[in-house]
Chain A
């Protein structure tokens, strides 16, 4: 009979090693295949080995962040309502509505010609943009028809150029760093949801009509900041699963959860490497065997550290039986001691 007991891992089973092998072995095939998908325009998100490296190295910001924004109530079923939310979220920068930008270095002015069609599409006006720019940076900005004139109050060409670049990046509509939002429809439930090509879920959650319980981003650190370590752990496992699945590699999710658990067990996210999991091992020998051997040995000597010889690496190094698998079991009482105990009992 299949009971829960049958599925439990045997005590002493080296689950970490098995997880590492189960992820690592198909990973070697991924290196060879990574170029196959180059040039496919549909998915611009980093995938394959670069993304895998990104996750285990815990980069502060993924190379291609994105978020899924699910909607509540009417907007989930109504395209027009969803579009209204898109307008609140989708980030529009000055650069997105520009036709041409002209700098006059001798006068210290910047002239921006706006694209009428683009303005209309984003429901923006030149005046509205001008007031936004004035609010965000210290410069006079006046709207003349479809053009903006900005006085920089400086005649240094360098500063004028810097300001022109800065203005181009200003967010004039939507949420800053939220990226462009696109409406998608779930094939099964037919509900509408948004996909953004950047991620700022903290701000998106403030928007009315957004289902805050289902919002998702592939930025592990953002998940950690907003929802805490448990969410970050689940995100790590989920992102690993996505990467491997895309490559046609099927790794049991429990292996991925072992890795995610190891990375998040301390309450903060640790990477896999000398500044994370491997570098913070308890054993001196295990750390020295990995990287920066001399550093670890000298520090251990300077602080009089002690190695309890409990791990695998250090016991293999010394030549002792490892404390895993068949080595889990040790003798609790010697045969001679049993007779001693029974003697004592007899006396009492």
Chain B
């Protein structure tokens, strides 16, 4: 850095706009800070001295992320034991600390001017602030995970997402709620290894997972590459079992002209009538009854609506009013039991029906599970208990996690949780896994001691026996208790197949997406692969026969596309009037291209070879 003279101007910026300059930016900054702490200035102001630019940045705008810190002055925390006492007795509160300059909020820029210590004992003469708590350097979701300080940072982002996706007891009034989709775990458990934030967020009262007995072992290749193996007996006893709720709703809308929808079993004369069978489960009022078992295609809410266009109702000879079937049916691939039906009114004073359907989700192959350490996996095999490995006490793990999941990903927290969970389960005590609460080495010693007290190996390793052969495994296998979440990505909601099905109107090509029973796109790069293999007939099958094949008549004289005249029973070319035609198979997309070229006043003639 270039030497600066004492007279050099130190510019002051407010919210990025230049305000003026001062001689000494550092003292100026400190003055503002003192004013803020004594209450002269608003506590929402942040000020930072930037030595690199020799400038003072004052920020008062909205949208800054700020975090509270305890102020340290003269090597002493301002939050004295005396004040802590008062806080505990609830004589004072957090706002008191803010007002009295004991705690202040800092933004990202002001943080650059500070020297923050983690724990009170580490305070030196230079220290400016003290962290409120060791957990406060992590966010809320991450603090749900035990031992995050032992994991790779990349896993933190993952585990935060997995925790948010887990099924559990999301609300205690779930029975009264009509969420469009909700998931409810049957036997949620409080984790044996918990954290302080987990507890203070009352997550123990509505948890979102279960304590699984996990062995870090392979199983005949069934848990390769993030697959997991589950114990069938455990699943049958309710491990990971949950209920899926989905709400269908419909409304009796009013239309301009006095027409309106009516909830009822549609008459067979209604346009778009689905056939008698589809409506068989409806009661007299046109709405399905609770506890009815429903399958895909069943009508849940019968409703008739006026025609979409006005002319239709008038043209129908005036005798009978034409109506349209607008019933709500269960979507393809769904089934379950009607859980609850609610009949209410909307704010627009129209009748509203909400039908909640429930379906049991027993863990099956393809369901996703994750621990709180960013270790996710998909159930690949649910093994009968007799084929699972067991230890000498007859304990059989609930889940087998492949040991290869750990080394590359550096999720040591997973191992530590397994050990802590085992120690906690044996001693019958909850274990605290709050970040930075204790040193890792201390923890291992502590848990090892508990394990030894109960007659287990201090590192959690055990001799296991193969359930199929009954032979002892040569290696000792690490096992313990890990809190696993069942995530809401379940195969039964995603599974989809198609052989033939709906096509798009414009291109005659198969539709896309699960909701439209679509196919999987055979794209440009996939096409290139088949070309590269020289598999010309397979290519034709994919791109023509299984897609938009169209038989077209082509005029032998002018090369235009013609048609078959059913009245005259001849083929006709609309341009030259010729009747010499040959039928050719082309892709409908090409026919569409020719049509569009014609719309540009270009005539594409096709000359055919015999």
B-binding residues in A (CB < 8 A): 12-14, 17-18, 20-21, 294, 297-298, 300-301, 312, 316-328
Complex Cα distance A317/B507, Å?
13
Subset of 9 A-B contacts with CB under 8 Å? A14-B532, A297-B600, A298-B600, A300-B602, A301-B602, A312-B531, A319-B587, A321-B539, A322-B536
Residues of B within 8 A of A316 (CB): 527, 531, 539, 543
Complex Cα distance A125/B338, Å?
101
Complex Cα distance A316/B547, Å?
12
Residues of A within 8 A of B585 (CB): 319
The answer on a CB contact under 8 Å between B527 and A12 is: no
Residues of A within 8 A of B543 (CB): 316, 319
Residues of A within 8 A of B527 (CB): 316
CB distance from B358 to the nearest CB of A (A): 46
Residue from the list B529, B536, B586 in contact with A324, Cβ < 8 A: B536
With both beta carbons as reference points, the residue of chain B lying nearest to A22 in the complex is identified as: B532
- Asked if A321 meets B532 with Cβ closer than 8 Å, knowing A297-B602, A298-B600, the reply is no
Residue from the list B539, B549, B597, B600 in contact with A322, Cβ < 8 A: B539
> Residue B528 at the A interface, CB < 8 A?
yes
Contact with A along B513-554 (1 / 0, CB 8 A): 000000000000001110111111101100110000100000
Among A13, A316, A317, A321, which residue has the most Cβ atoms of chain B within 10 A?
Answer: A316
Among A13, A319, A320, which residue has the most Cβ atoms of chain B within 10 A?
Answer: A319
> Residue B589 at the A interface, CB < 8 A?
yes
> Residue B590 at the A interface, CB < 8 A?
yes
With both beta carbons as reference points, the residue of chain B lying nearest to A307 in the complex is identified as: B604
The answer on a CB contact under 8 Å between A317 and B539 is: no
Complex Cα distance A211/B600, Å?
61
Known A-B contacts: A14-B531, A14-B534, A322-B539. Give 6 more (CB < 8 A).
A21-B529, A297-B597, A316-B543, A317-B589, A319-B540, A326-B534
CB distance from A254 to the nearest CB of B (A): 15
The answer on a CB contact under 8 Å between A317 and B587 is: yes
The answer on a CB contact under 8 Å between A12 and B600 is: no
Complex Cα distance A320/B540, Å?
7
The answer on a CB contact under 8 Å between B602 and A327 is: no
Residue from the list A18, A21, A319, A326 in contact with B549, Cβ < 8 A: A319
Complex Cα distance A298/B602, Å?
8
Residue from the list A301, A318, A325 in contact with B534, Cβ < 8 A: A325
CB distance from B592 to the nearest CB of A (A): 11
The answer on a CB contact under 8 Å between A21 and B528 is: yes
CB distance from B193 to the nearest CB of A (A): 38
The answer on a CB contact under 8 Å between A322 and B531 is: yes
With both beta carbons as reference points, the residue of chain A lying nearest to B532 in the complex is identified as: A17
> Residue B593 at the A interface, CB < 8 A?
yes
The answer on a CB contact under 8 Å between A17 and B528 is: yes
Complex Cα distance A323/B602, Å?
28
Complex Cα distance A316/B536, Å?
10
CB distance from B21 to the nearest CB of A (A): 35
Complex Cα distance A20/B534, Å?
15
Q: Is the interface of B mostly helix, strand, loop or mixed?
A: helix
CB distance from B587 to the nearest CB of A (A): 4
With both beta carbons as reference points, the residue of chain B lying nearest to A17 in the complex is identified as: B532
Complex Cα distance A12/B535, Å?
11
The answer on a CB contact under 8 Å between A325 and B602 is: no
- Asked if A317 meets B593 with Cβ closer than 8 Å, knowing A297-B602, A301-B602, the reply is yes
The answer on a CB contact under 8 Å between B586 and A318 is: yes
With both beta carbons as reference points, the residue of chain A lying nearest to B540 in the complex is identified as: A321
Complex Cα distance A146/B533, Å?
72
The answer on a CB contact under 8 Å between B533 and A325 is: yes
Residues of A within 8 A of B539 (CB): 316, 321-322
The answer on a CB contact under 8 Å between B586 and A319 is: yes
Complex Cα distance A34/B31, Å?
48
The answer on a CB contact under 8 Å between A325 and B587 is: no
- Asked if A325 meets B536 with Cβ closer than 8 Å, knowing A297-B602, A316-B527, A319-B549, the reply is yes
CB distance from B585 to the nearest CB of A (A): 7
CB distance from A194 to the nearest CB of B (A): 42
The answer on a CB contact under 8 Å between A319 and B597 is: no
The answer on a CB contact under 8 Å between A326 and B536 is: yes
The answer on a CB contact under 8 Å between A321 and B536 is: yes
The answer on a CB contact under 8 Å between A326 and B535 is: yes
The answer on a CB contact under 8 Å between A18 and B586 is: no
Complex Cα distance A320/B544, Å?
8
Residues of A within 8 A of B534 (CB): 12-14, 324-328
Residues of A within 8 A of B533 (CB): 325
The answer on a CB contact under 8 Å between B531 and A324 is: yes
The answer on a CB contact under 8 Å between A18 and B532 is: yes
Complex Cα distance A297/B590, Å?
14
Residues of A within 8 A of B587 (CB): 317-319
Going nearest first, the 10 A-B pairs with the smallest beta carbon separation are A325-B534, A327-B536, A319-B587, A319-B544, A301-B602, A17-B532, A322-B536, A326-B536, A321-B536, A318-B590
CB distance from A198 to the nearest CB of B (A): 36
With both beta carbons as reference points, the residue of chain A lying nearest to B596 in the complex is identified as: A297
Complex Cα distance A308/B373, Å?
62
Complex Cα distance A21/B597, Å?
32
Q: Among residues 276 to 297 in chain B, which have CB atoms less than 8 Å away from a CB atom of chain A?
A: none
CB distance from B483 to the nearest CB of A (A): 36
The answer on a CB contact under 8 Å between B544 and A326 is: no
Residues of B within 8 A of A325 (CB): 531, 533-536
Residues of A within 8 A of B537 (CB): 321, 326-327
Complex Cα distance A14/B531, Å?
7
Complex Cα distance A323/B531, Å?
10
Complex Cα distance A300/B603, Å?
11
With both beta carbons as reference points, the residue of chain B lying nearest to A15 in the complex is identified as: B532
Residues of B within 8 A of A21 (CB): 528-529, 532
With both beta carbons as reference points, the residue of chain A lying nearest to B549 in the complex is identified as: A319
Q: Among residues 557 to 610 in chain B, which have CB atoms less than 8 Å away from a CB atom of chain A?
A: 585-587, 589-590, 593, 597, 600, 602-603
CB distance from A278 to the nearest CB of B (A): 14
Complex Cα distance A316/B590, Å?
10
Complex Cα distance A323/B539, Å?
12
Residues of B within 8 A of A18 (CB): 532
Residues of A within 8 A of B602 (CB): 297-298, 300-301
Q: Among residues 205 to 247 in chain B, which have CB atoms less than 8 Å away from a CB atom of chain A?
A: none
Residues of B within 8 A of A300 (CB): 602
The answer on a CB contact under 8 Å between B589 and A17 is: no
Complex Cα distance A320/B533, Å?
17
CB distance from A308 to the nearest CB of B (A): 10
Residues of B within 8 A of A14 (CB): 531-532, 534
